[in-house]
Each structure stands twice: as structure tokens, then as C-alpha cells.
A and B are shown apart, each in its own frame.
Chain A
Amino acid sequence: DGGITQSPKYLFRKEGQNVTLSCEQNLNHDAMYWYRQDPGQGLRLIYYSQIVNDFQKGDIAEGYSVSREKKESFPLTVTSAQKNPTAFYLCASRHTGGWGIYNEQFFGPGTRLTVL
């Protein structure tokens, strides 16, 4: 089955710790995205990557870091510099082919991060 997997489903972090959220896709998509969602809020873009070894900051990149060493993987690290990291984190990917058409983003199941 093709799809996007995120792990873990739930993650608990102590103050001052860095944690890494995993996102893997086997859809052969070029572009991948990380969003943060807080209760009652829409999706806010953290980082995105359109090709391997390249990524761009979104609207709320401070306190986060990413890497894109492989096409199918786009891990997100939540660093201790992120002061309020408790949120629902969503990874997405999309196919970038088809000039003039913006293909849909497919979402993984999400990781719920809680700071203790």
C-alpha cells in the first residue's frame, strides 16, 4: 500500500529535550511538508522541501529543524528552543509533475507531541 507514515503516534517530551518526528512516504512524491496544528486552529507550515537536499522555512520555523537526505524521508526535529511545542504535527507530500496544475497534498496520520 502506498502512503505516508508518521511515527510515533504519541510523543512526550521533557523540558529541554530535543525530539525527532519521523515521516516516510512511498508515493514517490518529490515534495514534502511539515505542519503544526493547535486546538481550534488551521495548519501552520513549519518547513517544506521540493527536492532532496533542499528545504525552505515556512511561517513558524523557529525552534525546528529538518533534513531531506532521501526522497522518501523528511524528519522533523523539535529543539529545546521551541518554547511551546505541544501540538499535533502533520506531515504531507505531493507529486510535483504536471505543469500548471498544483497536485493535492496527501497527509500522514500525525504525531501528537506533549511537553511534560
Chain B
Amino acid sequence: QKEVEQNSGPLSVPEGAIASLNCTYSDRGSQSFFWYRQYSGKSPELIMFIYSNGDKEDGRFTAQLNKASQYVSLLIRDSQPSDSATYLCAVTEGRGSTLGRLYFGRGTQLTVWP
């Protein structure tokens, strides 16, 4: 069983602050990494994916990957109350599109207060 661990939370930050969400994974062969956002009662939606070591930025979101440390993070800059949700980290079991599944962490609940 592959393990994906996220900081347990809940995480609470003021509006305008940087929210930092962390995820570690056990499978050294994992190659693709995803961050999903899930609002209460809704289904997950993808906000970021990353395949290579380093940083990847998209608007207020930055994903960071360090395969040597088996660590992936998500930074949310200028946090807004609308960012309040549960963030799920998901990891593949290896390279290639033939490998079918993702492993999900339990999620970190983020609250951004005005």
C-alpha cells in the first residue's frame, strides 16, 4: 500500500496571507503529482499538477516538488475566503499512462478568515 501523508490541519490563515500545504509520499517511483480542491459537499477539482522537480506557478498557486525528499507542497499566495476548502494531494504509482491509479492523502482543511 502506497502512503500519501498530508499535514493534518485544519489550517487557518488570515485573508492575504500565504497558505502552505504539505504532502509526503512513500513510493520513490511516483512520477506525477496532483493537487485537488474540494469544497464541502462537492467533488474534487484539479488546481495544479507537477511532474518535474522544482516549482510550478499558476496565478496565486505554486506547486513545489522534491523527488529526492519525496515531498510535494502547494503554496497559495494572497489567500482569499473563497480558498477555504479541503485540499487533496494525489500521487501516481509510477511512470506511464498505462499505470491506472492515483493514491490520495486524507486532505488538509484550509480556512481563510477575513
Interface residue ranges, A against B (CB under 8 Å): 31, 33, 35, 40-45, 48, 50, 56, 58-59, 90, 96-110
| Total contacts A-B at CB 8 Å | 64
B96 touches which one: A48, A56, A100 (CB < 8 A)?
A100
CA distance A35 to B49 in the complex (A): 20
Chain B residues whose C-beta falls within 8 Å of the C-beta of A41 in the assembled complex? 106-107
Report whether B100 and A48 are in contact in the complex, using a CB–CB cutoff of 8 Å: yes
Q: How many residues on B have C-beta within 8 angstroms of the other chain's C-beta atoms? A: 27
CA distance A41 to B46 in the complex (A): 18
A42 touches which one: B34, B101, B104 (CB < 8 A)?
B104
Is chain B's interface secondary structure helix, strand, loop, or mixed overall? loop
Is chain A's interface secondary structure helix, strand, loop, or mixed overall? loop
Identity of the chain A residue whose Cβ is nearest the Cβ of B109 in the assembled complex: A40
Report whether B101 and A33 are in contact in the complex, using a CB–CB cutoff of 8 Å: yes
Report whether A42 and B43 are in contact in the complex, using a CB–CB cutoff of 8 Å: no
26 cross-chain CB contacts under 8 A: A35-B104, A41-B106, A41-B107, A42-B88, A42-B105, A42-B106, A45-B101, A48-B100, A50-B98, A50-B100, A90-B44, A96-B98, A96-B100, A98-B97, A99-B97, A100-B95, A100-B97, A101-B32, A101-B51, A101-B97, A102-B31, A102-B92, A102-B96, A102-B99, A105-B90, A107-B43
CA distance A53 to B92 in the complex (A): 23
Identity of the chain A residue whose Cβ is nearest the Cβ of B105 in the assembled complex: A42
Least CB distance from A114 to B in Å reads 14
Does B60 touch A at the CB level, under 8 Å?
A: no
CA distance A101 to B34 in the complex (A): 12
A59 touches which one: B1, B95, B96, B107 (CB < 8 A)?
B1
CA distance A67 to B62 in the complex (A): 39
Chain A residues whose C-beta falls within 8 Å of the C-beta of B45 in the assembled complex? 107
